[in-house]
Structure 1
Amino acid sequence: MPDALPSLSPQDALVAVMVAVSASDEEIRTSELVAIERIVNHLPVFADYDADRIGTIARTVFALFEEEDGIEALFGLVRDSLPQAMSETAYALACDVAAADGLLNQPELRMLEETRIELGLDRLHAAAIERGARARHMVLPA
């Protein structure tokens, strides 16, 4: 990774958080990629966003994950780029991506916790966001 980190738009920062949660378990599932694409294609915050940037942002996240302090650098970029008012949105999108495949494993749970802390979200608000993601991704019992 070059010494100079790229600057991110607020939408790039949202994508970076989603990609980071998806990649946290070292296995990006198709359902998670589809969730990211669906979110970018449908949410108003991405109305003027160039979806072709997803690949560039994903490569940046992957490169940062290879660095010793890459996660800290990633969250530094996110904090610098994302208005505080969008922190709950970022966390909600991260939760939706994590829940998209129906599996929440320890690396994803740790990344969600780290995201919550880095974004400065209150635990109670985060729990409400998590509960909403869980409700949106429930499946009917067999």
Structure 2
Amino acid sequence: MTQETMPFSAQDCLIALMMSISMSDTNIRTAELVSIQQVVDHLPIFADYDVGRIKVVAHITERLLDEQDGLDALFAVIREQLPEDLFETGYALAVEVGVADNFLGQPELRMLEEIRYELNIDRLHAAAIETAARIRHRTL
């Protein structure tokens, strides 16, 4: 079994959610990639994560997003492999990457809406997560 065909771990699912936001507008920005790297480097949930998997997960995510019904397939894997108590964490990490460049365009907003729907994120909780991320990324 190659690294590319290995099933997604819960951590891979979190990476895929962050990558899906970055890829949603077809313009992967440096700030978004830096944000993903910082998250992986600093959050305890990624303490034992093989960072070499980031490129593999990014490639698989990109392939799925390019396929018809690929987004449905991606969310099916995420719902299967990511424990439900980490759904809000996944949403929070996706929002964090989305606001990393201080701009959320329509494609990113639609992807966040899709993530909320697919992971059944309560609208009030989503609003709190989004507000916290905007506050953390404010500039003078």
Indicate the TM-score class for this superposition, using the shorter chain for normalisation: over 0.9
- Aligned residue in 2 for 1:13: 13
Residue 2 of structure 2 corresponds to residue 32 of structure 1: no
- Aligned residue in 2 for 1:66: 66
Provide the C-alpha distance between the structure 1 equivalents of 2:74 and 2:39, rounded to a whole number of angstroms. 21
Aligned counterparts, 1:104-123, within 5 A: 104-123=104-123
- Aligned residue in 1 for 2:85: 85
Provide the C-alpha distance between the structure 1 equivalents of 2:73 and 2:45, rounded to a whole number of angstroms. 24
SS at match of 2:103: coil
Gaps of 5+ in 2: none
SS at match of 1:104: coil
Q: Which amino acid aligns with 1:129?
A: I
Q: Which amino acid aligns with 2:91?
A: Y
Q: Which amino acid aligns with 2:52?
A: D
How far has the Cα of 1:6 moved from its partner? 5.0
State, as a whole percentage, how many aligned pairs show the same letter.
54
Provide the C-alpha distance between the structure 2 equivalents of 1:117 and 1:7, rounded to a whole number of angstroms. 23
- TM-score (ref. length: structure 1): 0.94
Provide the C-alpha distance between the structure 2 equivalents of 1:65 and 1:95, rounded to a whole number of angstroms. 18
Provide the C-alpha distance between the structure 1 equivalents of 2:51 and 2:6, rounded to a whole number of angstroms. 18
Provide the C-alpha distance between the structure 2 equivalents of 1:124 and 1:110, rounded to a whole number of angstroms. 17
SS at match of 2:26: coil
- Aligned residue in 2 for 1:47: 47
How far has the Cα of 1:65 moved from its partner? 1.1
Q: Which runs of 4+ in 1 moved over 3 A?
A: none
The alignment's C-alpha RMSD in Å is: 0.9
Deviations 1:49-91 (A, max 9, x none): 0111000000000100111001101111111110000011000
- TM-score (ref. length: structure 2): 0.95
Q: Which amino acid aligns with 1:116?
A: R
Provide the C-alpha distance between the structure 2 equivalents of 1:81 and 1:40, rounded to a whole number of angstroms. 18
- Aligned residue in 1 for 2:135: 135
SS at match of 2:51: coil
Provide the C-alpha distance between the structure 2 equivalents of 1:62 and 1:96, rounded to a whole number of angstroms. 19
